Structure 1
Amino acid sequence: MRTVTLRRVVITGLGALTPIGNDVNTFWENLKAGKSGAGPITKFDTTEFKTKFACELKDFDIEKFIEKKEARKMDQFTQYAMVAASEAVEDAGLNSGGIDKTKVGVIWASGNGGMQTFEDQILEFQQANFVPKFSPFFIIKLISDIAAGQIALKYGFMGINFCTVSACASSSSALVDAFNYIRLGKAKAIIAGGSEAPITRAGIAGFNAIKALSTRNEDPSHASRPFDTDRDGFVMGEGAGALVLEEYEHAVARGAKIYGEMVGGAMTADAYHLTATHPEGLGARLGMQEAIEDAGLTLAEVDYINGHCTSTPVGDVSELKAITTLFGDLAPKLNISATKSMTGHLLGAAGAIEAIACVKATQEDIIPPTINTTTIGDDIPSGLNLTLGQAQKRTVNVAMSNTFGFGGHNAIAVFKKYK
């Protein structure tokens, strides 16, 4: 029987493009400070829309990163991917000499792919009286896997390359996949993450139609209010997050700086409803339990959970029920925070952005806050430290990121302080 030796997996590069910062340092500083990224939508006229605000990128010009001619061949979700991945690759030093690029892969996620491209082309099709004169770039801008291909093409990475799609769990699924491939010896390093550009007319109207979005139009900056009695839905966000996962021995041999270690991951299904989480959080609880076991840790060793916590009436409750049921008497000792209260919900990119928050929390021993929560709902389990209002200092040896997606997908990633 063949014996498999599992490799250690460390994080050697980070990249972020978010509504509260266009690079990792700015994002993290604003996250700790409790800054909201929400404001009126500027991308289109919202007069007839129920929701008129979102968490858009600020002061972002793609031509500072990609030549105009090349950028026009990409949907925004791919543009965002290229920016975040570039920061992570440069941060990790993976573009320097001496790297065997046949052993470097890309696993990139997007829950929606090229939404703006699809919307624009269909409208043009209609305006042309349905004469099929589509752009030759229509399909290659639209498909969700194209970002992974573009990143690999830019750097010549010839290893594992594909896209994960599991709705809002997509980029956490990418991280778990990358983690497993590396520890099984199938790659030396993988750029894993996700990007999303869903602030389009179809994106906002579609999520409005299923009553998922907040409609607090008079006060956007306080609209995402997880756990609050007045929470009424999530705030749409856009951007990208990237992490370079690398085999420990490979990273040490080339003298790479190490941010932290990924030690566990799991993916489960609620098998309950197309859009609603299980009311008792059964799938989430199973995912957390399996991820912690996969990491070889005990429940008592977990210090921080970055919750999925989107500020929806049902989702926030079910996740906290899952946590309290799994952790029992240990639950009050955890720090739990909902960073979507600041970034909005980046859908398929959320997990990667929140993984970065977890890694930075273990580095700096600080928990980013949950903002905007003024009155905790009666339906919220009591006795939990939800890190309300401001960041909290504490030793963070182990941090866990929860992400859940339409279809009942759950993806959990566990990170550990590097020693």
Structure 2
Amino acid sequence: MSQKKIVVTGLGATSPLGGNVPDSWSALLAGESGASTLDKDWVARYELPVTFAAQAKVPAADILERVETKRLDPGSQFALIAAREAWADAGAPDIDPERIAVDYATGIGGIWTLVDAWETLRERGPRRVLPMTVPMLMPNGPAAAISMSLSARGGARTVVSACASSTESIANGYEHLQAGLADIIIAGGTEAAIHPLPIASFAAMQALSKRNDDPQRASRPYDVNRDGFVLGEGAGAIVLETEEHALARGARIYAELAGGAVTSDSFHITAPDPEGSGAARAMLAALDQAGAAITDVGHVNAHATSTPVGDIAEYNAMARVFGDHLDSIAVSATKAATGHLLGGTGALEAIFTILALHHRTAPPTINLDDQDPSIPLDVVTSPRDLGQQQLLAISNSFGFGGHNAVVAFRSV
């Protein structure tokens, strides 16, 4: 069966760099950091060893109606903001609601709702637990909120695969459009887990940076002094449709979603396969679906969390895939600026990858002072012109459980 050409016609995000896509992109190009010291009483109360994170630049309450913030977990609030921006950016298409679908994701779900409800139950009893607790905490809450807000009745699917979640949802959106299950899909992911429990847990496993005195420089992918990731929050959403459908309604096209793939390491619940074999298979499969050669790839938005073992494992995977061509690929590690949005990170990085192709500019990797000699990548440290030729770019996402997801975009 011949493959349809799938294109991106709308972008939306709320991130540690900005409350929308243009502001997030501008701050990224300017080399800004979204990390800051947490001004929360619970940091001292729980004596947390890490006292900073990358919080959303614009609080959801500044954008949404009060009733929405009361009835939605923060993760769903971010999702709704991103999806509405993406939908408006795509021209708010007037099509049959049964032909609009949602492929959305989260890595953890409504942790604020869950833990708050547990504390209410323990301290005040069952009668004080809110009736909306379960709808607010369930991982499919963000997809449901988007579906109801945009009258999307063609399906609202949820992926929960840790930090690979939203990239996997984008790959699923590609497949669902190929299968003709919808005419338009809103895909992406969200996370709102800057909460004492995840911070304490990630810190206990030595995953978080402990640069409490210098949070803006804490996330430093590929640097010899990297010591862990910075926890972030926010959401991203992209509108996908077939090229035929987009052209028929006169939509602006940012880029082609040329392919996507998912594999698993079957290695360790938290550590990546150090050889990167599963991640390499995902990259190769995405390129195969895109009908592309490795030499077509000119840009990679790397997963690059700033952990000592994770960055090397991803480099090993890229070296297996690209060989000598790796020297010709401009690599951006944007978590240095945004922190790690867990289940929302792939969606935000897909948007940055799309914009890199659209504007022919690879965004910078900040905080790289002394590059690890065991990771000899061509890392972009200031905005770089990608040229005007047709270009393929990939965005990598890897998660606890050995989940690997890769999406490939082609310039138009």
- The TM tier, using the shorter chain, reads over 0.9
CA contact (8 A) 2:268 2:402 kept: yes
1:5 and 2:2 equivalent? yes
Partner of 1:39 in structure 2?
36
1:53 and 2:52 equivalent? yes
CA contact (8 A) 1:18 1:240 kept: yes
Cα RMSD (Å):
1.3
Partner of 1:100 in structure 2?
96
Q: How does 1:135-146 map to 2 (within 5 A)?
A: 135-146=130-141
Shift of 1:324: 1.2
CA contact (8 A) 1:15 1:243 kept: yes
1:201 and 2:196 equivalent? yes
Q: How does 1:271-282 map to 2 (within 5 A)?
A: 271-282=266-277
3-state SS in 2 of match to 1:46 = helix
Shift of 1:155: 1.9
3-state SS in 2 of match to 1:387 = coil
- What is the rounded CA distance, in whole Å, between the counterparts of 2:242 and 2:340 in structure 1? 30
Residues 215-268 of structure 1: CA deviation (Å, up to 9, x unaligned): 100100000001111111000000000000111111100111111100011000
1:19 and 2:16 equivalent? yes
Residue number among 323, 326, 330 corresponding to 1:331 in the alignment: 326
1:229 and 2:215 equivalent? no
TM-score, scaled to structure 2: 0.97
Shift of 1:33: 1.3
Task: Rate the CA distance shift 1:183–1:44 in 2: closer, same or farther, 3 A.
Answer: farther
Partner of 1:394 in structure 2?
386
CA contact (8 A) 1:39 1:54 kept: yes
1:30 and 2:30 equivalent? no
Shift of 1:44: 4.1
- What is the rounded CA distance, in whole Å, between the counterparts of 2:117 and 2:200 in structure 1? 18
Residue number among 389, 407, 410 corresponding to 1:413 in the alignment: 407
Residue number among 65, 71, 74 corresponding to 1:76 in the alignment: 74
Read off the aligned partner of 1:103 and give its amino acid letter. Answer: R
Q: How does 1:186-265 map to 2 (within 5 A)?
A: 186-265=181-260
CA contact (8 A) 1:6 1:185 kept: no
CA contact (8 A) 1:7 1:184 kept: no
3-state SS in 2 of match to 1:355 = helix
Q: How many residues align?
A: 408
Read off the aligned partner of 2:379 and give its amino acid letter. Answer: L
Shift of 1:343: 0.3
Partner of 1:150 in structure 2?
145
CA contact (8 A) 2:350 2:395 kept: yes
CA contact (8 A) 1:44 1:200 kept: no
3-state SS in 1 of match to 2:115 = helix
Higher helix share: 2
Partner of 1:176 in structure 2?
171
TM-score, scaled to structure 1: 0.95
CA contact (8 A) 2:60 2:74 kept: no
Shift of 1:43: 4.0
3-state SS in 2 of match to 1:162 = strand
Read off the aligned partner of 2:24 and give its amino acid letter. Answer: F
- What is the rounded CA distance, in whole Å, between the counterparts of 1:57 and 1:133 in structure 2? 29
**Unaligned regions of 5+ residues in structure 1, if any?**
none
Shift of 1:381: 2.9
- What is the rounded CA distance, in whole Å, between the counterparts of 1:131 and 1:182 in structure 2? 44
3-state SS in 2 of match to 1:242 = strand
Read off the aligned partner of 2:57 and give its amino acid letter. Answer: K
Read off the aligned partner of 1:400 and give its amino acid letter. Answer: I
- What is the rounded CA distance, in whole Å, between the counterparts of 2:310 and 2:27 in structure 1? 25
3-state SS in 1 of match to 2:19 = coil
- What is the rounded CA distance, in whole Å, between the counterparts of 2:68 and 2:222 in structure 1? 43
Partner of 1:290 in structure 2?
285
Shift of 1:133: 4.1
Residue number among 258, 261, 274 corresponding to 1:266 in the alignment: 261
- What is the rounded CA distance, in whole Å, between the counterparts of 2:58 and 2:129 in structure 1? 31
**Unaligned regions of 5+ residues in structure 2, if any?**
none
